[in-house]
Structure 1
Amino acid sequence: MRLLLLSLFAIAPVFNHQAAWADEALIKSKACIACHSVERKIVGPAFKDIAAKRRDEPDAVQLLSEHIRKGSRGVYGPVPMPPNTRVNEAEAKQLAEWILTQ
């Protein structure tokens, strides 16, 4: 039993890395990186800045999911975020969760 637990802990980072890679692939495939980056503002705010602002809010995933799908205006400055019609609800939630980890 102990060997099984140690084995599971040893491979856990591999699964976590694969999940992070999948989320980054989704970010790229949905064109989020056209306006955002992890570290710095491009057109829209950096993902790390979004995470810093929203991380402790209980409804952050829901709020960000809505902003991703429906767009927003005046949240991070004068440039509006257009709606992303290429993102479904499940993908928006996955993207929001990833953004909050940055």
Structure 2
Amino acid sequence: MKREVAVAVTALMLGALAGGLATAASAADAPRGRIVADANACMGCHAVDRKLVGPSFQQIAAKYKGDAQAPVKLARKVKDGGSGVWGMIPMPAHQSMSDADIHAVVGWVLAGAPAK
């Protein structure tokens, strides 16, 4: 009986470890911009392919396609917040995000928010 319990516990532990490794591998495969967006609550208001509170990341990419100033405009919008471009619901400022993180998210969004 003890042996069966030990085998079951070992199997559960190995399964949990494998699941953790799979999650870590998935995170490692994700673009840095997506990882930063997930870590900074961007996904609470935006989704990749559908409007939530704010526009989808794909809608943003389409709107700014071909605009050479888009990276600068969007980085400023993320840092300072604002409203009026997509409606009256304001986007909060993200003053605590580093410029490197903001640029990673903006670059990922402007690329169409790819999965890889």
Return 5+ residue gaps in structure 2 as ranges.
1-27
Choose between structure 1 and 2 for higher RCO, CA contacts under 8 A separated by at least 6 residues: 2
Coordinate RMSD, CA, aligned: 1.4
Aligned to 1:52: 62
Q: How far apart, CA to CA, are the structure 2 residues paired with 1:31 and 1:74?
A: 21
Return 5+ residue gaps in structure 1 as ranges.
1-16
Alpha-carbon offset, residue 19 of structure 1? 6.1
Greater Cα radius of gyration, structure 1 or 2: 2
Q: Confirm or deny that 1:71 pairs with 2:58.
A: no
Q: Return the TM-score normalized by structure 2.
A: 0.68
Q: Which stretch has the larger CA shift, 84-93 or 38-47?
A: 84-93
Residues 20-99 of structure 1 mapped to structure 2, 5 A cutoff: 20=31, 22-99=32-109
CA contact (8 A) 2:49 2:56 kept: yes
Deviations along 1:55-74, whole A, 9 cap, x unmatched? 21011111110111100210
Flag as ranges the 4+ runs of structure 1 deviating above 3 A: none
Letter aligned with residue 83 of structure 1: A
CA contact (8 A) 1:39 1:47 kept: yes
* Pairs aligned (count): 85
Q: How far apart, CA to CA, are the structure 2 residues paired with 1:37 and 1:86?
A: 21
What is the percent sequence identity of the aligned residues? 33
Q: Return the TM-score normalized by structure 1.
A: 0.77
Aligned to 2:3: none
Q: How far apart, CA to CA, are the structure 1 residues paired with 2:100 and 2:75?
A: 9
Q: How far apart, CA to CA, are the structure 1 residues paired with 2:47 and 2:89?
A: 16
Q: How far apart, CA to CA, are the structure 1 residues paired with 2:101 and 2:65?
A: 19
